[in-house]
Structure 1
Amino acid sequence: MKQHIPNFITLLNLFSGCIAVVFAVLNKLELAALFVFLGIFFDFLDGLAARLLNVRSEIGVQLDSLADMVTSGVVPGIVMFQLLNMSQTGGWGTGLLGSEMALLPFFGFVITLASAYRLAKFNLDENQVSSFTGLPTPANALLILSLPLILFYHSNDALNEIILNEWFLIVLTLLSAFLLNAKIELFALKFKHWGFKGNEVRYLFLIGSLVLLLTLKFLAVPIIIVLYILMSLLAKTS
């Protein structure tokens, strides 16, 4: 029975992603972000449950990637579509099904394609256990989903002008696709034990992230992603 618990949690990730897709299509990006965050929480929880219960199955590995493809691959692509559409229309539209179509917004799905490629490589790579090669799809999803939340909760003319600038969004889409598949080794937040020794980078990152979130709220998310990459590079060279 216990071997099915992590898979059930993974399915909760997928279910959260499906709900997020609906809200993203309807251009209710705040709610889409909420369910992506919930899905990412379940994504973390299923791995933790598998380690605590000492169960691992091939179907669990495949199911985890399929769930991530929806929650952390499809949803960020739709959100970027909506942001690019807003950059063309100059404000909040009626969403994917009701707005006038332009070609540029479809460029946002480059994120979805890059996420699929990254997850396929991950499934074939047996070395990505204590570290990742390239930015994990959940971290990339958090980066993209933070943009509409910044628009909602930190709205000012300067920030809005940057985030809804089509060139900024195009460059961010390309950067996102690159980071997902870059040959950059990044540490994983997987604790083999809870002691500080051997987990220094992980604890410092978590403490720094908490401080940033408490002080900057959603503005902290892009900074945390940059911090994650920089700390991984510094840990690798030290």
Structure 2
Amino acid sequence: MTPVPAPISKRKGGRPVRRWRFTAVLFLGLCALSSYPLAILFANTLLSARSPATQADIIVILGGDGPARAAQAARLWQAGMAQKILITGDGDCYWIRKSLIDFGVGAGSITVECQSRNTWENALFSSPILQRMQVRKAILVTSWFHSRRALNSFRQIAFNIQWQSVPVEPDVPIWRIAVEQDGVQIFKEYPKSLWYMLRASLWKDHGERDARTFAAGMLA
């Protein structure tokens, strides 16, 4: 007699396969859906960092949300908060530079660092440039929900500089943010922040000597 195939949700020994996987995916999906509104609701408290804008040596813009960050940096420059601007990050680095010039920022005031691929590298690659410029006080411009992680990274690596965070502020209600692209970016910011906290701890113990070596090589 021809053997009857086992049900698709079973494998040899009777253990469920697809049913178990479906249950696990469903559970994780429900957890994500329930935590998403809370992540958006508490983002301003947990993810943002702001400082009063006072005069500094330079404005540092992180690549990413180019149009909004370029506009914010241009406003600060035009208000006389700093005479120089450093753009850091690959991708839209040169586009931000062009936007700043279109906003009226003098081309000679702009320096670019277009190699860094993430926030940690933004700080790492910018540090020797800022040392060469003898910067003592800097304003950091990024998106509001990215500002705490960015500020902590720059303070950790470029620790001899006094940092201010003057981020791009949200221009829509929180419920709109939740259903737009920024909502996804905010949700992803939480695990990134946890990883950067661990990375900063490891850096404090083992990385400062490497940072000085890296900076020395960049300055040579």
More strand by share: 2
More helix by share: 1
Same fold by TM-score greater than 0.5 = no
TM-score by length of 2: 0.25
